[in-house]
Amino acid sequence: MLGFLRRRRVPPGEPPPADILLRTEEITRFYQMGSETVHALDGVNFDVREGEMVAVIGASGSGKSTLMNILGCLDRPSSGRYWLAGRDVSKLTDNQLATVRNRQIGFVFQTFNLLARTTALENVEVPLLYGGVHRAKALAREALERVGLGDRIRHRPNELSGGQRQRVAIARALVNNPSIVLADEPTGNLDSKTTAEILDFFVTLNRQGVTLIIVTHEPDIAARCPRRIHMRDGKIIDEESDG
């Protein structure tokens, strides 16, 4: 089914309905490069409901990574609003955004972003320790068991395969029970067999109720997601759904 499937139900500026976990309203992001203004995002509007698995697909320079940075509260829009769990996070202070990132958003990156000299368990503990959560070690162990690495908790990243390192990163993303998991090219450094395994795992997580947004430039990766948002030149140009 083609077309924009998540149309506005309330006037712009008002909180979205409770079933909408994430909403962007006319999001723009521009950068000044000398005398030239570069529009990385140009009026991006879409909703994500709790429990969805969505791919954001586009070529290099399409704006998808800039959008991911805004959705992850790593950057601010130049204009527009970004609602997450009923809260307009586009207007928060830096400290408030840091709290949202820690408690409500899980990140999975192409390069894993693991601490090289620490164990899998210690890597997964990091967001818990940052947030002052009690029982950090026990919760980190549970998250690693959830991704099938209960027997690798004492291994350092250089003692793990690429797929295992990405599973550690996924465990770290899940350990705080976030509202949403954002995965930026999560299989970019993996071979085809391991890519299929990680995608299967994402599908399993989604069936368990985890809300996922996966940014990719690979059509076959996006095809594993029930909903796909296509970007070009900073705009959403199309959307399709299997539903």
According to CATH, the topology of domain 50-74+94-241 is Rossmann fold (3.40.50)
Q: Are 169 and 112 in contact (CB under 8 A)?
A: yes
CA distances (Å), 116 to each of 42, 112, 157, 176, 233, in order? Answer: 38, 10, 6, 21, 36
pLDDT value, residue 90: 85
pLDDT value, residue 142: 96
CB count within 10 Å of CB 193 equals 8
Domain boundaries, the chain: 50-74+94-241
pLDDT value, residue 32: 86
pLDDT < 50: residue spans in the chain: 1-8
Give strand pairing partners of 31: 38
pLDDT value, residue 13: 67
pLDDT value, residue 10: 52
